[in-house]
Copies of this chain bind each other. A is one copy, B any other.
Amino acid sequence: MSESAKGNAHPAAADASSHGVGADANSATDAPLPRSSDDSSGHSLRARRLGIHTHEQPVVYLRKDSPVCRAEGFEARNRIDVHVDDRTVTATLNMVSDALLKIDEVGLSEAAWERLMPEPDSKIRFSHPLPLDSMGWIRAKMYGRSLDGGQLDGIMRDVVARRFSDVELAAFVAACAGSRLDRHETLGLTRAMVDVGSRLSWNKSPIADKHSVGGLPGNRTTMIVVPIVTALGFMMPKTSSRAITSPSGTADTMETLAPVALSLDAMRRVVDREGGCIVWGGAVGLSPADDLLIRIERALDVDSIGQLVASVLSKKVAAGATHCVFDIPIGRTAKVRDRAAAATVVSYLEQIGEALGLRVRCVITDGSQPVGRGIGPALEARDVLAVLRGERDAPMDLRGRAQTLAAGLLETIGAARGRAAATLAEETLASGRAWAKFQALCDAQGGMRELKFAAHTHDVVSHCSGRVRAIDNRLLSRAAKLAGAPHAAAAGALLHVRIGDAVHAGEPLFSLHADTRGEIAYALDFVDRHPDIVAIEQDV
């Protein structure tokens, strides 16, 4: 931006003679200029916990007429730094009237309170946040420039330190959306995400892992693959995500059957005892940067190949995995829409996985329609239980996919080869050993839970007779979300047909499940406006 300087300017030393030009009523002393209000004004405010949940963004509430605001010129600023002892939070500033706070009080949102942990007599200090270098890099990315490893490190450090506002995080997510992060940036982002989180080591190899690239409702194979592989004595400490843009993540579905929000220590105890686990990655803090970005990606309902790969691989590396199988469903309404897109994802996963010391195997699967019948946490858990228990009407597609992925993983870690690996996976499931193991895992994680059912359901029926031609994963997911999934665990959709099925007019295609009548209504309103969720080829 500017040429290398041969000579330059520097600020005057802090002596009285250099305070020149205008009158400076307070500049008669030689004292160094202050950096925070506590030092400058001696005003100190009492912290008040206002009990406001602001979606994890720290917010601080100040009265416009408070001495701190007047002394520091905070009135119209968006962001200020708040300090308690050696803890600092960069917070969004909301000015308030005198109805809410006393003149000597500062209000803190829950996110700010929990990070600052003020005592009744704590001194609360304030300062202006310095401009973030990393915001300059995000701006450069918006303008189309590439980011190097050091810049991505800096951005992730500031993400984890929560120095960005939600608006700034949204700009980063948008600047990286689609295919705007190249391979090199994706590797840099993955490394940066690993570096700002904890990293597990297991003193053992192989450590198996799996991941399904999202977008396919009901694709809950993890809860079947983990018990198969661990029942065979291999180690598989699995951390899963909650839903980003979908009606349920594996962690959400697993949580309907057992606790998943385990600490790192608790997770270790489960793995030591059972050789595996299925827990929520967010609670163990393996990739805290990712957890913070995902909140914004969810709000925008958007992600990118670079962020997807970095998100997935950073968690595998942080979890100490050595071998990983990836399920990549292809479908017009899945996250990966065609073979070309799948090839890109596969090459990103393989190359970046390899660069990070992870053995990667990708399995391309059918993503044309949901897997199993349930869409939403508890409804999906029902399908998983049916497969594990070997029930006769268990969804065959879910069982088949889980066996294929388990076989691929067994082959990758060297447990068996080709047909033998497939047989090993099938027998472990059919014999009930996987089911026994799953119950043991649930027990170790805190005890198995009863599934809940939704209070309200509503059938959506076919208005004609014919054959199911297509099912739109995205629209069906959105309907399930409007019904309350994943926040309401029992909510979602239950699919009664699959592509190719014959249906008669008036027969149910799927049902909506919700905790409240209001949510059924919202979902139904959406279904009404999208008659193509299940497309029927009419009989002629």
Interface membership of chain A positions 38-77, coded 1 if the CB is closer than 8 angstroms to chain B and 0 otherwise: 0011000000011111110000010000000011110111
Which of A342-350, A391-399, A441-449, A463-471 is near enough to bind chain B?
Answer: A463-471
Give the chain B neighbours of A469 by CB distance below 8 A: 3, 5-7
The reply to whether A19 and B459 contact each other, CB–CB distance below 8 Å, is: yes
The reply to whether A72 and B518 contact each other, CB–CB distance below 8 Å, is: yes
Of B23, B455, B525, which contacts A24 at CB under 8 A? B455
The reply to whether B456 and A26 contact each other, CB–CB distance below 8 Å, is: yes
Name 24 interchain pairs, CB-CB below 8 A, sorted by A: A1-B333, A2-B532, A3-B470, A3-B535, A5-B531, A7-B535, A7-B536, A7-B538, A11-B527, A12-B458, A21-B494, A24-B456, A27-B517, A34-B518, A37-B518, A51-B96, A71-B516, A73-B519, A130-B522, A143-B178, A167-B300, A168-B300, A171-B302, A174-B174
Give the chain B neighbours of A99 by CB distance below 8 A: 49-51
- In the assembled complex, the Cα of A55 lies from the Cα of B127 at a distance in Å of 19
- In the assembled complex, the Cα of A73 lies from the Cα of B455 at a distance in Å of 13
- Assess A455 versus B25: contact at CB under 8 Å? Given A333-B1, A532-B2: yes
Q: Which residue of B lies closest to A534 (CB)?
A: B9
A8 contacts the other chain (Cβ, under 8 Å)?
A: yes
Give the chain B neighbours of A525 by CB distance below 8 A: 35, 130
Give the chain B neighbours of A54 by CB distance below 8 A: 94
A283 contacts the other chain (Cβ, under 8 Å)?
A: no
Q: Which residue of B lies closest to A513 (CB)?
A: B22
* Closest beta carbon of chain B to A466's beta carbon, Å: 5
A181 contacts the other chain (Cβ, under 8 Å)?
A: no
Of B144, B173, B302, B458, which contacts A179 at CB under 8 A? B144
Of B127, B461, B518, which contacts A40 at CB under 8 A? B518
The reply to whether A511 and B142 contact each other, CB–CB distance below 8 Å, is: no
Give the chain B neighbours of A522 by CB distance below 8 A: 127-128, 130
Give the chain B neighbours of A482 by CB distance below 8 A: 128
Enumerate A300-321 residues with CB–CB distance to B below 8 Å: 300-302
Give the chain B neighbours of A454 by CB distance below 8 A: 22
Of B96, B457, B509, which contacts A53 at CB under 8 A? B96
The reply to whether B143 and A333 contact each other, CB–CB distance below 8 Å, is: no
A478 contacts the other chain (Cβ, under 8 Å)?
A: yes
Give the chain B neighbours of A532 by CB distance below 8 A: 2, 5, 8-9
Give the chain B neighbours of A178 by CB distance below 8 A: 142-144
Of B11, B458, B526, which contacts A130 at CB under 8 A? B526
The reply to whether A143 and B177 contact each other, CB–CB distance below 8 Å, is: yes
- In the assembled complex, the Cα of A488 lies from the Cα of B94 at a distance in Å of 18
5 closest A-B pairs by beta carbon, nearest first, are A51-B97, A7-B538, A174-B174, A22-B457, A33-B521
* Closest beta carbon of chain B to A280's beta carbon, Å: 15
A340 contacts the other chain (Cβ, under 8 Å)?
A: no
Give the chain B neighbours of A536 by CB distance below 8 A: 5-9
Q: Which residue of B lies closest to A490 (CB)?
A: B22
A330 contacts the other chain (Cβ, under 8 Å)?
A: no
- In the assembled complex, the Cα of A171 lies from the Cα of B178 at a distance in Å of 13
The reply to whether B173 and A511 contact each other, CB–CB distance below 8 Å, is: no
A170 contacts the other chain (Cβ, under 8 Å)?
A: yes
Using CB atoms and an 8 Å cutoff, list the residues of chain A in contact with chain B: 1-3, 5-12, 18-27, 33-37, 40-41, 49-55, 61, 70-73, 75-78, 92, 94-100, 109, 127-128, 130-131, 135, 139, 142-144, 165-175, 177-180, 296, 299-302, 332-333, 453-464, 466, 469-470, 472, 474-475, 478, 482, 484, 487-488, 491, 494, 508-509, 511, 513-522, 524-528, 531-538
- Assess A463 versus B10: contact at CB under 8 Å? Given A97-B51, A455-B24: yes
Give the chain B neighbours of A487 by CB distance below 8 A: 73, 75-77
- In the assembled complex, the Cα of A162 lies from the Cα of B313 at a distance in Å of 38
* Closest beta carbon of chain B to A37's beta carbon, Å: 6
Give the chain B neighbours of A453 by CB distance below 8 A: 22-23
The reply to whether B484 and A73 contact each other, CB–CB distance below 8 Å, is: yes
* Closest beta carbon of chain B to A335's beta carbon, Å: 13
Give the chain B neighbours of A37 by CB distance below 8 A: 518
Other CB < 8 Å A-B pairs besides A7-B464, A55-B78, 18 of them? A1-B333, A7-B538, A9-B536, A11-B528, A24-B455, A34-B518, A35-B521, A37-B518, A53-B96, A54-B94, A55-B94, A73-B519, A144-B179, A144-B180, A167-B167, A167-B296, A168-B300, A171-B174
* Closest beta carbon of chain B to A496's beta carbon, Å: 9
Give the chain B neighbours of A40 by CB distance below 8 A: 516-518, 521
Give the chain B neighbours of A98 by CB distance below 8 A: 51
The reply to whether A174 and B179 contact each other, CB–CB distance below 8 Å, is: no
Give the chain B neighbours of A528 by CB distance below 8 A: 10-11
Q: Which residue of B lies closest to A12 (CB)?
A: B461
Give the chain B neighbours of A535 by CB distance below 8 A: 2-3, 5-9
Give the chain B neighbours of A461 by CB distance below 8 A: 9-12, 18
